[in-house]
Amino acid sequence: MMYVMIKGKPAKSTKIFNLSVEGYDLPDLMVRWLGEILYLFEGEHKLVTGVDVNAVSHSRVDATLETVSFNANLHEILCEIKAVTFHQIEVVKKDNRWEARIIFDL
């Protein structure tokens, strides 16, 4: 999602913190998780540069995030994501791997 919004990889991480998100099924969990990432940018002006998932189930994700502060001189906004939508959402396991299809409202 970050690569949809922002050009280039930021140079340094400046903050590490834990994020936990709950949802009532996998699609809902995915939407809420990405919604939190989006809020970090929109509300806190932070870009997520790394994610370590510590625990995940069908209803909860616990992760450690690395973030940098958004800097208009360093980071080019490619496009604005208005919302993470449920439209045609899919979070499925295929051949032992998890795949997700998400449509963003731009």
Partner 1 sequence: MDIKIEKIDEHRWLIPKTGPMRVPGLIFSNTELINAVREDQSLTQVANVATLPGIVDHALAMPDIHWGYGFPIGGVAAFDLDEGIISPGGVGYDINCGCRLMTTLLQAEDIRPLMKDLVIALFKNIPSGVGSTGAIRLSKRDEIKVAVQGAAWAVKKGFGTTEDLERTEDHGVMVGADPSVLSDRVIKRGKNQLGTLGSGNHFIEVQVVDQICDSKKAQAYGLFEGQVTVFVHSGSRGFGHQVCDEFLKEMSKPSQKVSFKLPDRQLACAHLKSDPGRRYLSAMACAANYAWANRQILMHFVKETFLKSLSVNPRELGMKLLYDVCHNIAKKEQHTVDGTNVVLCVHRKGATRALPPGHPLLPEIYRGVGQPVLIPGDMGTHSFVLSGAKGAMIQSFGSSCHGAGRVLSRSKAVKMAKGRAIHRELEDKGIFVQSRGKRTLKEEMPEAYKDVSQVVEVVHEAGLARKVVRLRPLCVIKG
Question: Which residues make up the interface to partner 1 (CB under 8 A)?
Answer: 24, 28, 32, 35, 39, 41-43, 45, 70, 76-80, 82-83, 85-87, 105-106
Work out the burial of residue 30: count CB atoms within 10 Å of its CB; fewer than 13 is exposed, 13-18 middle, 19 or more buried: buried
Give me the least distance between CB of 95 and partner 1, in Å please: 28
Beta carbon nearer to partner 1, 5 or 65: 5
| Angle in degrees, CA 80, 49, 104, rounded to 5 | 30
Whether the Cβ atoms of residue 76 and residue 39 lie closer than 8 Å to each other: no
Beta carbon nearer to partner 1, 4 or 52: 4
